[in-house]
Amino acid sequence: MTDPLYRLPQFSLRFVPIWRRNFMVWKKLAKASVLGNIADPLITLIAFGYGLGGLLKSIDGIPYIQYLASGSICMSIMMAASFEALYSAFSRMHVQKTWDALMNAPLSLDDVLLAEILWAATKSLFSGVAILAVMFALGIGLHLQTLLVLPLLFLIGMCFSAIGLIVNALARGYDFFTYYFTLVLTPMVFLSGVYYPVSQLPQWLERLSQCLPLRAAVELVRPLILGGWPDRVVLNLAILLIYCIGGFYVAVLLTRRRLLT
């Protein structure tokens, strides 16, 4: 018989109350949460967009502030989803013992993890919408194609939430997350075309970056915000889906091993 540790996740609609519980908790601190998530990209946009943009007028004919804004929103979604899937999920799992309490009800661990990934993606989408509002105020992204960015942002949030839940399942304390942010997420930002074209990288690094989910996200979102249409849509969507679905399965497996064995 198949080892139950490795069976495919089994879901039910019981994840909905868990998602709703997280949402109700978030509502109490919603303003501070959204402000915190948009402060860093907003500072980056103003400092680099207008500061560096005063020296570097355009990239490939695109005003630098627009180039930066259309990439930094993906970075912001990545960071917001990762923070929720790491620090907040770890608190609910390990510190507050919320997951233990939930599984005393007729809920499975699979439902809890599904609620976590969907909630982290939802919370990152809230931040993304707030950043889009700032971009609109700056006259960036005022195109019909920008409407297609919203489901993409949710998918990007799910992708990085799934990866974050893998790290969460391995972590023994909050300090562990510092390694992930420093050694994985920060280098990914510089290899994914957020601040400058990946064509400026050495060839071997450019090839490596083709496998990164953030680069796939930027290549999908940036053209839409700039009023165009992305190239390699199927490939980039496939990359995000592989990280999302594969990452979630690995997260479920590792969390089962941690909590149920």
**Can you give the residue ranges of every domain in the chain?**
37-259
- Average pLDDT for residues 239-249, to the nearest whole number? 97
- Write down the pLDDT at residue 116: 96
Give the sign of the dihedral formed by CA 31, CA 36, CA 42, CA 47.
Answer: positive
Confidence check: pLDDT of 254 > 80? yes
- What would the two tokens of residue 96 be? 């507050």
Q: Who's near 230: CB < 8 A, 6+ residues apart? A: 219, 220, 221, 222, 223, 224, 236
- Average pLDDT for residues 231-258, to the nearest whole number? 96
Q: Cβ distance 197 to 59 under 8 Å?
A: yes
- Write down the pLDDT at residue 1: 45
- Write down the pLDDT at residue 53: 66
Scan for tokens 């509002």, then name that residue.
Answer: 133
Q: Who's near 180: CB < 8 A, 6+ residues apart? A: 82, 86, 164, 167
- Write down the pLDDT at residue 161: 97
- What would the two tokens of residue 40 be? 């860093």
Q: Cβ distance 53 to 160 under 8 Å?
A: no
Confidence check: pLDDT of 168 > 60? yes
- Average pLDDT for residues 226-255, to the nearest whole number? 96
Predicted confidence band of residue 121 (pLDDT cuts 50, 70, 90): very high
- Write down the pLDDT at residue 45: 76
Helix, strand, or coil here: 12?
coil
- Write down the pLDDT at residue 179: 94
Q: What is the largest CA-CA distance in the chain?
A: 65
Predicted confidence band of residue 123 (pLDDT cuts 50, 70, 90): very high
Share of the chain above pLDDT 90, in %: 61
Q: How many helices (H) and strands (E) does the chain have?
A: 13, 2
- What would the two tokens of residue 162 be? 């799934």
142: left (phi over 0), alpha (psi -120 to 50) or beta: beta
- Write down the pLDDT at residue 10: 86
- Write down the pLDDT at residue 2: 60
User: In the predicted model, what is the mean pLDDT of the chain?
Assistant: 90
- What would the two tokens of residue 245 be? 């679905």
Report the distance separating Cα 221 and Cα 131, nearest Å.
14
Helix, strand, or coil here: 58?
strand
Higher pLDDT: 254 or 27? It is 254
In the chain, the amino acid numbered 162 is A
Confidence check: pLDDT of 137 > 60? yes
- Write down the pLDDT at residue 255: 95
Comparing 41-55, 109-123, 164-178, 214-228, the range with the smallest average pLDDT is 41-55
- Average pLDDT for residues 50-65, to the nearest whole number? 78
Higher pLDDT: 237 or 7? It is 237
Confidence check: pLDDT of 261 > 80? no
Report the distance separating Cα 146 and Cα 152, nearest Å.
10
